[in-house]
Structure formats: structure tokens, C-alpha cells
Structure 1
Amino acid sequence: MTDQPEPWEPGSGPVAAGSGDLRRYAPATERNRDAILGVLREELPSSGLVLEVASGSGEHAIHFAAALPDLDWQPSDPDPAALASIEAWRQEAGLANLRAPIRLDAAAPWPVDRADAILCINMVHISPWIATLGLLRGAGACLPPEGLLYLYGPYLRDDVEIAPSNLAFHASLKARDPQWGLRRVEDVIAAADAQGLRFDRLVEMPANNLSLLFRRRD
């Protein structure tokens, strides 16, 4: 598997059949992965298990596992096609610290009960609010004291004017599914607090995206 697979966007449905290549290729991953990695290098523990919720194509997991070999990486997704893509990328990469993907629906009971850190990239806006609530509930149950929950994506903020591109994106998401859409940072913080997660900080990211960092309270 050396050729680049057809481009695919999260929330866009399955990849067109034809080549037999199970890998998904999300162009946004190449644009944001190094900026995200820069934040993760500062915030993740030096060792331990990192659970990625909603891994999508699996490309982030490959990139982060290769860059941070002292951490064990557990990708997950509820979509069988995504799990197949993650596994195909994993087999190609051959990384010893990257585990086989597991099926995990953020809104349902989780098949894992502990993780030293949890990542979730570009899920919150492309899923019903119940998925975000499940993510926060699961993180509150799995993380150790001061364990990191890292969220990345576009958000709305009460004190910041929404960028025109994000406004158009929000409208397009709502048109595709009324349960989707950009979430208010303030709503996510309040919901996280109810699950024992302390808001740590916000990091401005390229292309009007944000990193939201939470820590499990003692």
C-alpha cells in the first residue's frame, strides 16, 4: 500500500469502493497534526496509555505514535470502516507502541476502564451532543487524578466573534444533521465540570480551531 488513497472527510460517509484499499485519507490531518503534536508534547505524560476516541482514518494515531514512542496508543472508533482504515494504516506503519483499534462509541458504555490520557480530535461538532456528554463521562471515569483530556476542533465562544468560515461550517453541519454543529466552549466546560474534569487551558490553533485541555480533579 504505497499509493495515496482517495481523500475522505469525517462525517462524509464511506470511501468509494474500487481500489480495495481500506485506508482512509483525511487531508485535514496533514494540515493539523503537527500543530496538535506541539501541544501534546507539552501536556502528555512521559509514558503510559493514551486513548484516542473517534480516531477516524487513523492517521493521527500513526503520526503521534511515531513521534512519541514512549507512550502506548489505543485508537478507537464506532464505525467499522474507520476501524478497518486504522488497522490498515497500523499494519503499514508497523509501530510497536500502537495497539489494534477497538470499537468504542463515546455515548455508550466504554470497553476500557483506564487511560493515562484521552484525545478526541474533530468529533464534538460532527456528532450529537450526547456523544460529547458520553466522552466527558468516560474521561471522568477512566483518567487518573490530573490525567489529560485533550479536545481539538472548531468551537463557538461567547466573548469572541465567530469567524465567517466557522459560521458557514456550522450552518453546513446543521443542514446535514440538526444534531451536529459547533459547540460553545462554555457549554463543554460546564458539562466537563459535572464529570469531575477541571478546565485547564485553551490554545488557539491554526484555521480558527481550538485545543481545549481538561484535567481530572483529585
Structure 2
Amino acid sequence: MDIRPAYRILTSLLIGSGACFGMSVLSAAPVVNGYVMDVQMVPAVCAYDPLKSKKRKCLEGYSLNITGLYPETSTRDCTTNSSAKLSPLQAKVVARIMPDENARVALWHNTGGCVPMNASQYFRTIINHADKLKIPDELTSQETQSIQANVLRNKMLRMNSGLVSQSIEFNCMQTRGGSLLTEIKICYKNNGQYKSCPTTIVGNCPATFIIKGSF
């Protein structure tokens, strides 16, 4: 997956809400039933959100960016005070797919309390998921194009062994020119295999939408 025009790497998946899924607070250690990885379409967000247009991912031409890996759990409060510090080498690797260090720290502090791992293990898991996920060329193209949701979904299914249709949800933003793809959610079992998304994860894209090019 391309995250910069200058080179091509497999890991290409700012941060949205750090909230975890669920309604009740448990006194025991949270039970995690899976994870949801949020993959952001950077050109779309940079073009239509002036507050984000000066972020590194916008200025340096990223195509895709991971906003988070969120645990599916019944616990409402997933905050933690544990350190989000990574080794210099790991921080450099993570920055390829999550370039905003402040966003990474906030993600961990808002999510780490619900995952059975420390910050280093958590971000290593994100890297592993990103390495495994193969992305169609349409998602990293320099040209803006219209595509049918089923066509994009089927391409992802063919490229990723074990991925099922219900593992993918598309989110869009309505613009004057039509519905613009802004985010893809991918759902995982605890062991990293793909699974159907929980009922709390629902896409909002129409049958046909626009993928904004990187230029």
C-alpha cells in the first residue's frame, strides 16, 4: 500500500475517538472479543478538514493512515496512565503508518486500559495487521475516481486470504460532488484472523462513492 508517493510499502493504513465498544463497566479485567482497525483515507480528510491540512500526513503525501486499533469489549472506560513510550526504532516503524506522535500517545492513553498488552506490544500488533492487509491500487491512486462498494469489497476479499465480506465496513462523508470515502474499518479476532464486525460497527457509504486521489 502506498503511504507516500516516493515509495511503496505494505504498511499503509490521526486518530479518531479512543473510546472502546460497550455499555457497562466491569470491575474485573476487561474481556476483549476482538478488535477493529480504522484505516483513514488521508487525501479526503486533508482536503475537507482545514484543521488537519497542516498535519504531517497531509503535508508529506500519505495516502492511508491508521487511526487506531480498538478493542471490542463491554468496558466503557479504556483509559490508562501507563507509558506510551516506544523505543526509537519501533517509533520510527510505527511513524510510517501513524505519523502523528501526539495522536499515538493519545490513542494509547484512551485505549490501553482495555487491551491485554503494553504499549510496545499494542503498536506491534497494529504493525502486524497493517503488514498483512493488502490494499487495492484504487485506494492509493493519485487520481480521484468513482467506485462501487461491492467492487472495492470484492477486490479486498480476493487480495486477503481469510477476509470475509462482513469484516469490512466503509464510511463516507457527503460532499457537493457526492459521497467521499473517508474510512475503512477492518475487524479481527484476538488472534489476528479476520472476523465479522460486531453489530456496533455499521458503514454509511452508498452503493457507489468517490475515492479522492492523493493529488
TM-score by length of 1: 0.29
Q: Which has the higher contact order (CA 8 A, sep 6+)?
A: 2
